[in-house]
Each structure stands twice: as structure tokens, then as C-alpha cells.
Amino acid sequence: MNLFVDALSRKAQNAMLTSLNISKVHEHLGTSGWTYQTSGDYFIVLSIKVEPHIITSIKTTQRTDPHIHRLKELAQTDQSDKFRVASDCSLRFNGRFVVPNLIDLKEAILREAHCSRHSIHPGNRKMYHTLRAHYWWEGMKKEISDFVAKCITFQKVKAE
């Protein structure tokens, strides 16, 4: 008799935990920007949009940068042939993201390109060509050279 009562009490606990978990998932999906559909106790994800944090930071800072606003105005009035405003309202230079003149943002991009496990400390030429495909800012090549020159690993390799 005790086994039967014990099993019934566990079933009630599991049902309560499941309903709590489903409500947490529903709450999280509502704030995440995912497109989803509910079907009883299940959620069917219809689409997911994933964007790197650096791209989100660039888009956010572009909205408040006065220099970027001037460039956007030029691009929208067709006075610039290289600058364009993309469908996501971000400013692009020949298809590349225009990075606002913020030291922290530029350093984050440079650190990601130079110090990630996938890049294995590239030199300034390789790093410039890699970043040039996606980003643009004034003085980019010089800033990349200065960043690589400060790298201790690069200095050790150059000394050897």
C-alpha cells in the first residue's frame, strides 16, 4: 500500500516540476526574439536568429554616434557611392560594417580576431585581410599593426 501512495505522490511532484519548467521556457522564449508555436506541453521553434555580440554592439553604437548619423544622411541622399544603409538600419562601407570610433569596441574586435583559439595569433597582414572582409573604420590598417606589435607572443616569435 505504501508503494502505491509513494508512486502517486512522485507523479504529482513530477507534474508540478514539468509545469514550472514549461512556464520558465515560455517566459524565456517570449523575451528572446525566437519565433515559436506552442502545442500542449511542447514548444515548436519556427525560426532562430543568431547574431554575434560584436555585431549587436556595432549596430547599437551606430544609433548614437553623430558621425555615423552624418554618413547615413549622405548615404540616404545618394551623395556617397561607397556608404549604404542596410535593411537592418546599419551603415555599411562597400558592404562592410562601419565601426564607430570607440576604443573599447575596436579592441574587442581586434582581440577576437587575434586571440581567439581559431586564429592562433595571426600577423598584421593576415589579420587585416580577415577583418577587412567584415569591418571598416578610418585608420584600420595602422590600428591593426599597432595592436599586433603590442602582442607578447608576436614579439617573442619576431625576436626568435
Q: What is the CATH number of the domain that holds 78?
A: 1.10.340.70
- In a shared domain, residues 92 and 15: no
What are the phi and psi torsion angles at 84 (to 5°)?
-140, 150
Question: Measuring CA to CA, which residue among 68, 70, 108 is closest to residue 91?
Answer: 68
- In a shared domain, residues 36 and 59: no
- In a shared domain, residues 149 and 73: yes
Question: Measuring CA to CA, which residue among 158, 94, 87, 73 is closest to residue 123?
Answer: 158
Rounded to whole angstroms, the Cα distance separating 133 from 155 reads 26
- pLDDT of 32 reads 62
* Number of domains, the chain: 2
Residue 108 burial by CB count (10 A; 0-12/13-18/19+): exposed, middle or buried? middle
- pLDDT of 98 reads 96
Each residue's pLDDT, cut to its tens digit, for the chain (160 residues) gives 455 555 545 544 444 434 445 556 656 665 566 666 666 666 666 666 778 899 999 999 999 999 999 999 988 887 778 899 999 999 999 999 999 999 999 999 998 888 876 666 678 898 999 999 999 999 999 999 999 888 776 666 555 5
- In a shared domain, residues 109 and 140: yes
- pLDDT of 63 reads 94
- In a shared domain, residues 70 and 27: no
- In a shared domain, residues 60 and 98: yes
- In a shared domain, residues 34 and 58: no
Give the domain-ending residue among 47, 62, 78. 47
- In a shared domain, residues 59 and 20: no
- pLDDT of 28 reads 62
The DSSP symbol for 81 reads: S
- In a shared domain, residues 87 and 117: yes
- In a shared domain, residues 41 and 57: no
- pLDDT of 19 reads 44
* Domain range for 81: 53-159
Annotate 96-125 with DSSP letters as a single string. Answer: EEEPPS-HHHHHHHHHHHHHSTTT-S--HH
- pLDDT of 101 reads 94
- pLDDT of 17 reads 39
Question: Measuring CA to CA, which residue among 92, 88, 106 is closest to residue 49?
Answer: 88
- In a shared domain, residues 65 and 38: no
- In a shared domain, residues 96 and 118: yes
